[in-house]
Structures are given as structure tokens and as C-alpha cells.
């Protein structure tokens, strides 16, 4: 069951939303849902699995290494353990 929500968008985004609605021949709701799904897939799943797919590291090792890199990005003497 769908639930109604309210939010405010600036004029540029409203124009973009209407353009996508027309171009895709779908509803504004469908455009927003597709955009959120795409954004979530991009932000939540892409980075940790990259090194795993390359066959270099297991997922947990890749995740730990990326976490170390992010936490030490200002330190030029990074030591990474596997």
C-alpha cells in the first residue's frame, strides 16, 4: 500500500521532474521511486564489492581496507594489514 508524503522541491527540480515524467511517459511518483532506487544502489553497494569482483580480496578484507584508507586519508604513511 502506498503512503502519501509531502516535501518541498526548488523550481529547477520541479521542472526536471516534469520533464522526466513526460519523457518516460510515467508518473512523478514512478520517477521519484526509480531515482531513489538508483541512488541507493549507487551509494550503498558499489564501493566495497569493487575489489572483491576484481578477484584481489574477499569482501570483508576489501571493506576493512577501504575503511582504513578513509579513516587515514590525511596520513601519508598508511599501513594496511590483510
- Is 9 or 47 the better-scoring residue by pLDDT? 9
What's the pTM value of the predicted model, to 2 decimals?
Answer: 0.52
20-60 confidence digits (pLDDT tens) = 999 999 999 999 999 988 888 777 765 555 555 566 667 77
Contacts of 72 (CB under 8 A, 6+ apart): 78
Cα 29 from Cα 61, distance rounded (Å): 39
- pLDDT attached to residue 2: 83
- pLDDT attached to residue 42: 78
- Is 7 or 76 the better-scoring residue by pLDDT? 7
Q: How far is CA 61 from the centre of its chain?
A: 21
Q: Provide the pLDDT confidence category of residue 9 given band limits of 50, 70 and 90.
A: very high
Amino acid at each position: 500500500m502506498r503512503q502519501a508524503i509531502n516535501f518541498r522541491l526548488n523550481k529547477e527540480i520541479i521542472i526536471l521532474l516534469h520533464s522526466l515524467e513526460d519523457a518516460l511517459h510515467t508518473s512523478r511518483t514512478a520517477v521519484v521511486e526509480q531515482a531513489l532506487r538508483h541512488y541507493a544502489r549507487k551509494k550503498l553497494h558499489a564501493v566495497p564489492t569493487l575489489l572483491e569482483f576484481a578477484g584481489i580480496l574477499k569482501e570483508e578484507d576489501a571493506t576493512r581496507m577501504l575503511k582504513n584508507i578513509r579513516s587515514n586519508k590525511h596520513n601519508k604513511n598508511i599501513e594496511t594489514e590483510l
